[in-house]
Structure 1
Amino acid sequence: MKHFPCTIWLTGLSAAGKTTIAHALAAALTAQGRMCDVLDGDVVRQTLCRDLGFSREDRSENIRRVAVRCKELNAAGVVAIAALVSPYRDDRDKARETVGDARFVEVFVSTPLAVCERRDPKGLYKKARTGELANLTGVGDVYEAPLAPELSIDTSLQTTEAAVETVLHLLNGRAKV
């Protein structure tokens, strides 16, 4: 497998499985000798974007900053794996423009809302349904599903291992030096 720097942008609802896939993919890429970095939405919110809230404008700025970081990582020869809800198509399109179309791989983690709500590891959906949390994507705010992602993975139907293999297979087909 050829080494190439790219950005794998995992998008989907909270509890869809984005972070789980991101870390498993990073482990697989590292085992192949590739340098990679995971930009997880929760961690990014505590570091790179700690000054941002969850307004539409702040969410857009969050995505912009992550896209710039992904571009920097790619320029350094690192595979960037971004695992973010990134609910708005326009923001994801701008992220693709920032990174560059040839290096941007959009993966829609399309796990249904009902499954995400059953998982609810952080209790976000419960808080949103009881009115304690406003604007949670999928409940109080929209999630605009990608129209033409490079991949779509439903973690209620596919194991993490199978999801990682699917992404690796796609990357093999796109490999560029």
Structure 2
Amino acid sequence: MAARAGLILLEKNAALEVNVELLSTELRRYEVQHRELQMEVQSLRDQHKAAVLEVQAAHKEVKVLQTSHRKERAAWHSSEEASQQQLRSLASELRAQQQLHQNSSSTTPLPHESQNNANFAKPSSSDDDPLSEDPRVTLLQTENDLLQTHLSQVLLELSQLQV
């Protein structure tokens, strides 16, 4: 009986050794998996840090762009105001010149105008409009047309910049 009990103990011992070997192998496999997971976690942490730095850099760039946009907009607004003021000034100057011309042509004819009047016959359409003979009127009208064209172009550019 003691021999039999010894054999049973030997079989149980062998089974336990096999069990210990299996558990030891499984433990090593889990340790390897644990190391791999630790490396993956570290990689994910590094990616997270890089993403955070990238987001911070993007926020800084957005702030720089916003500041730049504000400065450009202020400069554009200032330029627009200056252009509008210049246009108003030119328009009032043109009106003043036209008024001055109308006043001077209606009160006193110029010496070269009286010579021109003597040398040339008036067309029937100009009998009603004494200003049509004066070459300065034509020049002022041409200048007015140019200023109107320039005004239209500036307004078009301003409307395009606002879009």
TM-score of the two chains, using structure 2 as the length reference: 0.21
State the TM-score, normalized to the length of structure 1: 0.20
Which has more strand, going by share of residues? 1
